[in-house]
Homo-oligomer: A and B are copies of this chain.
C-alpha cells in the first residue's frame, strides 16, 4: 500500500479476549500493515485487576482510569471486551460521544441495550462493530450484513453456544449423563463455575437476538426471545433420539413468517443428515436459508481468546479502512416488524411418556392426538408392563394444538407421568 494510516486503539479489559487482541495485533502487525496500510497500535489498556497485567508488556500501557482512553484525542477506536451491561454501556456511550469508533464483543450488552448505542453511533456518525459478539471467529455478522444483502433471508438456525454443544455431543457419544459431563466440562474450563447462562439458554438467546435483528432488519431484544436450556435433557432422551435417527442440539431459530419475526432457543432433535447435526464439541455453526441462496452454513470455533480476537481485529481494520461507509455505519434495523405469535408456530415434536402397557394404550393416545389434529410419524415402545415407555415423533403441527393434545393425553389413566416433549427440526 502506498499510504499508511496510524490507527490507535484503546482496549477496555485485559482478560482472555483482551490479552489475545493485544497479542494478535503484536504478532500480525507487519502483515496487517503490508496488506491494508493500517499501522495498528494498542495505545492504552484499561484493566483494574493488577493480576491480569503481564510482565512482558510495558506497564505504561495500562491504566485503571477510563478517562486516559476516552479523553485521549489520539485514540481512534475503543475496543470493549470487559462484558456486562452497565460499565460497558457507560464506556461505549462516552466513547461514541467523544468521537471514537467502537468495537465490542459484548452480546449481552447489544441484546439488552443495543438500540440506544446503535442510535448514538448513527447520530455521531461513528462505527459500532460487533463481529466478535456472536460465534467467535465465524464471520457471521459480516456475512449476513454484507454478503447476504440480496439473499432474501428467511431462516437462521444457530448452534451458538459451545458449552451446551460440548455437553450434548458427549452425551450422544455415551460418555456420561448431563450432570457428569457438565462437571467434567467445568473441570476442563469448557463450562463456567456458574453455567446457568450457558446451559439455561440465555447466552444463545442474546446471540440469536443479534442475528435475528440483522437477518430481518428489525430490532429483536433479549426480552423478545423465548428460550429454554438443556438442563432437563437426559441420557435416555438422547439415546431414544439416536435410535430414531436424530441428534439433540440446542438450536437458536430466527424466522421471518408473514413479515413477522420469531426468535427462539430450544433443545431440538435434528435428523442425523442435517448439516448442523455434524457440528460437534464446542464448535459453533450458523445455517442460513434464503430465497436466492438456498442454504449456506458457516462453522468454526465459537469462543476462545485468539479466535475471538481475529474477529475484533478484522472489525478494527475494517473501520480503519473505510472512511465513509454508508450503510455499515448504521444499525441494519431499518424497519419494525411484529413478533410472530408463539402459539401459531408449527413444529414436529418428540414425546416420551411412561405408560401402563395395557392393551390399546397407543390407540387411546393416538385418538387424543387425532382430536387435536396431531398425527404421529413414528413410534418406539421400550419395556413392558408397568415400566413401559412410549416414544413418539409427530408430524409438524400448530404448537397450540400440540400442547392441548399433550395436556389431555397426560390426563389419561394409562399415562403415568408428565410427558417429556422436545421439538424436532
Which residues does A use to contact B, with CB under 8 Å?
1, 5, 24-25, 27-28, 31-32, 34-38, 131, 137-139, 142-143, 146-152, 217, 275, 278, 290-301, 304, 306-307, 309-311, 313-314, 317-318, 320-328, 330, 332, 334-335
A37:B327 contact, CB within 8 angstroms: yes
CB contacts (< 8 Å) of A297 on chain B: these are 297-300
CB contacts (< 8 Å) of A31 on chain B: these are 150, 217
A22 and B275 CA atoms in complex are apart in Å by: 31
CB A259 to nearest CB in B, in angstroms, measures: 12
CB contacts (< 8 Å) of A37 on chain B: these are 326-327
Query: In chain B, what residue has the closest Cβ to A24?
Result: B150
B35:A149 contact, CB within 8 angstroms: yes
CB A215 to nearest CB in B, in angstroms, measures: 12
A147:B151 contact, CB within 8 angstroms: no
CB contacts (< 8 Å) of A323 on chain B: these are 323-324
A142 and B27 CA atoms in complex are apart in Å by: 22
A311 and B313 CA atoms in complex are apart in Å by: 24
CB contacts (< 8 Å) of A147 on chain B: these are 131, 139, 142, 310-311, 314
CB contacts (< 8 Å) of A38 on chain B: these are 326-327
A403 and B127 CA atoms in complex are apart in Å by: 56
A10 and B294 CA atoms in complex are apart in Å by: 27
A300:B295 contact, CB within 8 angstroms: yes
A326:B334 contact, CB within 8 angstroms: no
B143:A139 contact, CB within 8 angstroms: yes
CB contacts (< 8 Å) of A306 on chain B: these are 291-293
Closest 6 CB pairs of A and B: A321-B326, A139-B147, A296-B300, A36-B327, A150-B313, A28-B150
A32 and B25 CA atoms in complex are apart in Å by: 35
A321:B310 contact, CB within 8 angstroms: no
With A150-B309, A325-B322, A326-B320 given, is the CB distance from A296 to B143 under 8 Å?
no
With A24-B292, A293-B307, A294-B137 given, is the CB distance from A149 to B32 under 8 Å?
yes
Query: In chain B, what residue has the closest Cβ to A300?
Result: B296
- Which one of B138, B150, B296 contacts A296 once the chains associate, using CB atoms below 8 Å? B138
CB contacts (< 8 Å) of A278 on chain B: these are 275, 278
CB contacts (< 8 Å) of A150 on chain B: these are 24-25, 28, 31-32, 309-310, 313-314, 317
B335:A34 contact, CB within 8 angstroms: yes
B299:A296 contact, CB within 8 angstroms: yes
A326:B142 contact, CB within 8 angstroms: no
B35:A217 contact, CB within 8 angstroms: yes
With A36-B327, A151-B137, A300-B297 given, is the CB distance from A318 to B146 under 8 Å?
yes
A35:B1 contact, CB within 8 angstroms: no
A150 and B28 CA atoms in complex are apart in Å by: 6
- Which one of B294, B314, B332 contacts A146 once the chains associate, using CB atoms below 8 Å? B314
CB A318 to nearest CB in B, in angstroms, measures: 6
A171 and B147 CA atoms in complex are apart in Å by: 34
A275 and B283 CA atoms in complex are apart in Å by: 12
Query: In chain B, what residue has the closest Cβ to A288?
Result: B300
Interface centre among A139, A301, A306 (most CB of B within 10 A): A139
A298:B301 contact, CB within 8 angstroms: no
A192 and B14 CA atoms in complex are apart in Å by: 56
CB A115 to nearest CB in B, in angstroms, measures: 17
Pairs A–B under 8 Å by Cβ, sample size 17: A24-B292, A27-B152, A32-B150, A34-B217, A34-B334, A35-B334, A37-B327, A137-B296, A142-B146, A142-B147, A150-B317, A293-B300, A293-B306, A293-B307, A294-B307, A295-B300, A295-B301
